[in-house]
Structure formats: C-alpha cells, structure tokens
A and B are shown apart, each in its own frame.
Chain A
Amino acid sequence: MTTDQVIFIILSVITLGTALLVVTLRNLFHAALALMATFLGVAGLYVMLDAGFLAAAQLLVYIGAISILLIFAIMMTRRLMSADEPAFNSQVWAALVTAVVGFLVVLWAILRLTGLGTEDLSILWRAPVDSKPIGLDVLPYIQNSVAAMGQAFVDPNGFVLPFEIASVLLLAGLVGAIIVAWPKAEDEES
C-alpha cells in the first residue's frame, strides 16, 4: 500500500460518503454542507491527478460561489431554519435505477475508450507520464501546463470556439436567472 493509494482511498471515502449524505440527510442546510465536503473531496482527487489548477478552480467556483448560490436559493424558496424535510419522495426507486444505469453506461464508455479493463488498476491514480495535451500537436509544447491550457483557450487550432461559446452560455445563464429571480418592474415590492 503506497501513500498515494492510502490518500486516494481516504479521498474517495470522503467524496462518496458525503455525497450519500447529501441525498439522505433531512436537514437541508446539513445536506448543503455535505455537498461542499463532496466538492472538497473532488478537489483532492484533482490534486492527485496533478491538476492543481483544476483543484483550485473547484474550490473557487464550486465551494466559493455555487454552494453559496445554492444555499441562497434554498433560503429564497424554503424556510431553511426549520427545514426538516423527508429525504425521499415517491420517485426514489425510479431515481435510484436511473442513477445506477447512468453509472454503468459511463463506466462502460470509459473502459472502452481507455482500455482500462486490460491494464492493471494502478492506472486509476498514477499521474500520466507524458503530460502533453491531447489533440494539440500543432501547438509548441510548453512546460507549464497551466500556460498550455491558457494558450489552448485562444488558439484557433485549439479550443477557442468552446471558449467563446462558454461566454455566450454564461451570458444566457445570467440573463435567464435574473429574469426568473428579479421581480418585474410592474409588480411592486414582493
């Protein structure tokens, strides 16, 4: 048992355990806290994959922004202080079956694409030896992976189109959320 394996197991237990708590806890605020712990576990897993920037982005965006947005949204629509909802409603079995089927589909896709089933399992947590970005052979190889990512964002042969579309998507999300959340000018104080 190498240290990496031990750390991986700890992080996985944290991630999966708190994820289970999110869907089973009755107190909504505790469920939101468990969700933040799940995000922390995922950030740890990113670090294990040598993606430090993604781990920090996970902290910054998911824990620092989206969790807070989630808690605010819960507070806007429910009385959070006395929240003691039943954790499951009538659709719980359909949801469980769908989640398991979805998981098997993703697992099958990953095994097919990477040939995982044929190699030893240590590929799950070993950092890739060759850290060249996939599919960007035309770009000059930059040692610093974050700078490589930055260049890939704006390179016409790279990911510039998804980059610009992401901004349009964010704009649409913002405008949509404001339209839904903000009372119209005709209604006075809500």
Chain B
Amino acid sequence: MSFDIVEFLKSLVSLNVAEYLKTVVGDQAWVNFVSDVIGVVIISTFCLLIVIFLIWLERKVIARMQDRIGPNRVGGRYGLLQTVADVIKLLIKEDITPAGADKLAYWLAPFLTVIAALLIWAVMPFAPGVIGVDLDIGVFYVLAISSASVVALLLAGWGSNNKYALLGAFRAVAQLVSYEVPMILSLLVPILLARSMSTVDIVEAQTVPFIFVVPLAAVIFMISALAETGRTPFDLLEAESEIVSGFHVEYGGMKFGMFFLAEFISTLFMSGFFTTMFLGGYRLFGLENLVIGDGWAIGRLLGLIIFFVKMFAVYFLFIWIRATWPRVRVDQILNFNWKFLVPLSLVLILAIAVLDKVIPADAGIYARSSILLLANLLIAMFAIEIMRTVARRKRKESSGDAAMTIDESEHNDVHDAHDSHHEVAAAH
C-alpha cells in the first residue's frame, strides 16, 4: 500500500502512526524494532522534559499556597525558565567524589534510580492503544521495578563512605520496604475487581471508576505512594533539616540532580498510576472512543487529554499535601505502617475477596459497586474508631488528667454539678 496523506493524518490524530507505517512498509521484524526504539525515546524524553515543567509548577503552587509569589525573574513574569537556569547551574558545578568512596557503588546509584523511574513508564496507558507495551502482568511489573530500585539507595548510602549517608540509607530502605506492603495489598483490590493485572484491562473495567467502589483502597494506595516516593509527610529521608539530607549528602552537581529527577519522575508516575487504577485512566463516559466523520478517531486524542488532566489533578494533590502537612517522625511512620495500614489492608483485601464472590454474578454493576462501597466505608469507620480509641488511651496514659477528652470533662462537670448540689443541699 502506498503512502496516503489523509490516512497518515488520520493515524496521527488517532495516535497510531506506527500501525499505519507498518501497513505501508510491511510487517517485518525490523519495523517492530524501530517503532519500539522510537517509543522508548518518546517516553524517556517526555519524562525528562516534563520534569522541567513539574519543578516550576511545584515551586509556583507551593509559593502561592504560602502567600508568596515564587520564581518570577528568569524567563518573564512567571519565571518559566527558572528550572532551566537551575539545570545549567547543576551542570557547571564541580564533580567532587568524596575520599574513600566506593567508585562503583557511588557512581551506579544515581543512574539506577533514574533508570528504575523511567522503566515503570512502559506500562502506563496514556490513551486507548497508546501504551509502551501492554504487559499482561503490568501492575506486577511496576511493583517489581519499584522494589528493585530500593537497592540503589543502599548503593548511594554505602558508596558515600559517610556515616550519615549510611544511616540515612538504612532508614530510607526501612521506610520504603515497609510501605511496599500496603501498596501491594491495596493494588490487589483493583486487580481483583478487574480480574487482570494488565493496566489496560483495569482501565477498561472501570465503567464506575474504582475510587467510588473501593475508596479505602485508593486512600491506602495514596498514602503508600507518598511514602514510596519520599514526599511529605514522609520525606524524612532527604529533608535538609533531618540527618543532613540523608543518603545523598555526598552527592553534588548533576549526580544530585539525578536523584531529584528520579523523585519527580516517580511522583508523576504515581499520579498517573493512581488515575489508571482508581480514576478510570483515559476514560470519560466513552468520549475516548469517539470517531467522527470517515474514520477520524479523535477520541484517542481526547483520551490523552483526559488522562493528562486527571494525572495533573492528582499531582496537584501531591503538591498540596506537601505544602500543608508537617513531616512525620520515623518511628511514627513505621508504627503507623505496621500496626495500622498493613492490618487494615489485609482486612480490606479479604473483605473485598469474600464480598465479590458472594454477590451474585448477575447483580449488575451499580448494585455491586454500592455494596462494595458500603463495605469500604464500614471498614474505614471501624478502623478510625479503633485508632481514636487507641489514641485516647495513649493520651490518658501519657498526661494524666491534663488531656481529658470531652466525655471525661463532661463527666467531671456532672460530678461538679453533683458536688455543688450537695453543697447547696448541705447549706440548706
């Protein structure tokens, strides 16, 4: 088949150029290879370039939330080129390697974090049919790569030949490894509901977005994602005021830039992943399947835009949380995980598994969703009640009668009322 400009434009609009070129050139092995290479380059370049925008966005939004202006000098009134200036600054810094550093580990660590952050984007569904590769174990692949990237932290900490770096690396690994468990368990819920580990299947299964069906799983995943990417309130690992920047204290220039880059890429990925798993990805009431005229599938372009809007909405939530919430202490972080989140997610996955089997198969989507939603809310209320009781008990132990709750002070008021009654009675 020869090259037809209209068909090419149609494939461009439907984001399917590779398929069209395959029909023109023929389906040979090298064609697949070249289209894969181009796909890899597009994804990686997109990640690297969008970080420039993300850093600017974060600084501006946090500034506005803190009643400041943020960058407004470089590149016009809105400081749009601020990040470019920062990148150039990092590029021309001196490349210092600390004495006694283990060369292999020290140099490998920043690369590994960025590579892991890039690799997970291969299974992100941007639009119907626009995905790096639709692995049938998509979600599992993401978890595997995230888990394997924890090693890079140990490399950084140990390779720096610095006590603080090593200590920071241990704590970082302890936190990351602990929060993998609720992330795994909460991701089991959408997989169970969609009956598949493929990200595309999960998006296609969300006629009702899963956040309205299993909001508790969404919340648990959000908390674990915050901890996994090392964002506030879990940014103890790299905060400058704690443990002097943790495991990357000995890194300067672009090597430090790489850790920074990896954090932003994985935060954006987690936002995208959250929209895929719980917000319905690129779906919006079937808009993504729109085909107008004679085969102009603009629905795909619309799907891409919808996906980006949702992803950035979640990313804005990440920024908002960073701007407003304080940092949590390391023992609080770990206790919260092992004593609250993990049992909660275990109970949740068991409840969802049992309920999903017990609800008869022909109950219809909305009935099923409402029953699961109800179960979620019940479990959440129960969990919050338990947390309040435990907190109340702890407060009573730790500070005697100084921290009375309303019930107890009311109780005392009643006692006082009784006493005053007695006094009045005695006075009579």
Do residues A29 and B173 form an inter-chain contact, with CB atoms below 8 A? no
Contacts A29-B158, A63-B148; is A68 near B136 (CB within 8 Å)? no
Q: Is the CB of B105 within 8 A of A64?
A: no
With contacts A59-B147, A60-B140, A60-B147 taken as known, whether A30 is within 8 angstroms of B104 at the C-beta atoms is yes
Contact among A30, A36, A68 for B177, CB-based, below 8 A: A68
CB neighbours (8 Å) of B147 from chain A are 59-60, 63-65
B137, B145, B161, B173 — most chain A CB neighbours (10 Å): B137
Q: Which residues of A contact B196 (CB under 8 A)?
A: 144, 147
The reply to whether the CB of A12 lies closer than 8 angstroms to some CB of chain B is: no
The prevalent SS among residues of B at the interface is: helix
- Across the interface, B140 reaches (CB within 8 A) one of A53, A67, A144, A147, namely A53
What are the residues of chain A within 8 A of B102 when measuring CB–CB? 29
B140 A33 Cβ-Cβ under 8 A? no
In the complex, what distance in Å separates the CA atom of A33 from the CA atom of B166? 16
- Is A71 an interface position by the 8 A CB rule? yes
Given the interface pairs A33-B105, A52-B137, A56-B137, the reply to whether A63 lies near B151 with Cβ below 8 Å is: yes
- Known A33-B105, A71-B154, A146-B137; judge A60-B173 contact (CB<8 A): no
Set of chain A residues within 8 Å of B141, measured between Cβ atoms: 52, 56
Q: How far is A36 from B147 in the complex, measured between Cα atoms in Å?
A: 13
Task: Tell me, in angstroms, the Cα distance from A108 to B417 when the chains sit together.
Answer: 90
**Are B154 and A68 closer than 8 Å at their CB atoms?**
yes
Q: Is A104 an interface residue when CB atoms closer than 8 A count as contact?
A: no
B150 part of interface (Cβ distance < 8 Å): yes
B34 at the interface (CB under 8 A from A): no
Are the CB atoms of A57 and B144 closer together than 8 Å? yes
Which of B151, B158, B161 sits near A67, CB closer than 8 Å?
A: B151
A71 and B155 alpha carbons, distance in the complex (Å): 11
Chain A residues with Cβ below 8 Å from B155 are 33
Are B144 and A68 touching (Cβ within 8 A)? no
Q: Which residues of A contact B140 (CB under 8 A)?
A: 53, 56-57, 60
**Does B143 touch A at the CB level, under 8 Å?**
yes
A29 and B105: CB pair below 8 A?
A: yes
Closest chain-B Cβ to A8's Cβ sits at a distance in Å of 17
B108 nearest CB neighbor, chain A only:
A33
Residues in B with CB closer than 8 Å to A147 are 195-196
The A contact surface, by secondary structure, is: helix
**Inter-chain contact A59/B145, CB cutoff 8 Å:** yes
Report the minimum CB–CB distance from B51 to chain A (whole Å): 25
A-B contact count (CB 8 A): 60
- Hey, which chain B residues are within 8 Å of A57, CB to CB? 140, 144
In the complex, which residues 312-367 of chain B have their Cβ closer than 8 Å to any Cβ of chain A?
A: none
Q: Do residues B151 and A52 form an inter-chain contact, with CB atoms below 8 A?
A: no
User: Cα distance A68–B143 when bound, in Å?
Assistant: 16
Q: Mark A47-89, 1 if CB is under 8 A from B, else 0.
A: 0000011001101100111011001000000001100000000
Residues in A with CB closer than 8 Å to B105 are 29, 33
Closest Cβ of chain B: how far from A79's Cβ, in Å?
A: 12
**Residue on B nearest A60 in the bound complex, by CB:** B144
Q: Are A144 and B148 in contact (CB under 8 A)?
A: no
Q: Is the CB of B144 within 8 A of A64?
A: yes
- Alpha-carbon gap, A60 to B145, bound state (A): 7
Write out the residue numbers on chain B whose beta carbons fall within 8 Å of the beta carbon of A59: 144-145, 147-148
A80 to B144, CA, bound (A): 27
List B132-164 residues whose CB lies under 8 Å from chain A.
Answer: 135-137, 140-141, 143-148, 150-151, 154-155, 158, 161
CB-CB under 8 A from A60, the residues of chain B are 140, 143-144, 147-148
Whether B197 is near chain A, meaning CB under 8 Å from some CB there, is yes
Q: How far is the CB of A124 from chain B (nearest CB, A)?
A: 22
Residues of chain B within 8 A of A68, CB atoms compared: 150-151, 154, 173, 177
* CB-based contact A144/B151 at 8 Å: no
User: Please, how many angstroms separate the alpha-carbon atoms of A63 and B147 in the complex?
Assistant: 8
Chain B residues contacting A65 (CB-CB under 8 Å) are: 147, 177
Q: Taking CB as reference atom, which chain A residue is nearest B166? A: A81
Residue pair A56, B144 in contact (C-beta under 8 Å): yes
In the complex the two chains form, what is the Cα distance from A187 to B136 in whole Å?
A: 51
The 8 A CB mask of A134-167 against B (1 = contact, 0 = none) is 0000000000101100000000000000000000
Residue of B nearest to A53 (CB): B137
B136 touches A52 (CB 8 A): yes
Q: Which residues of B are at the interface with A, using a C-beta cutoff of 8 A?
A: 102, 104-105, 135-137, 140-141, 143-148, 150-151, 154-155, 158, 161, 166, 173, 177, 180, 195-197
Which residues from chain A sit less than 8 Å from chain B, CB to CB?
29-30, 33, 36, 52-53, 56-57, 59-60, 63-65, 67-68, 71, 80-81, 144, 146-147
What are the 8 tightest A-B residue pairs by CB atom distance, in nearest-first order? A64-B147, A59-B144, A56-B144, A60-B144, A63-B148, A59-B148, A60-B147, A56-B140
Please give 8 more A-B residue pairs, beta carbons under 8 A apart, in addition to A57-B140, A63-B148: A33-B155, A36-B151, A52-B135, A52-B137, A56-B140, A56-B144, A80-B158, A144-B196
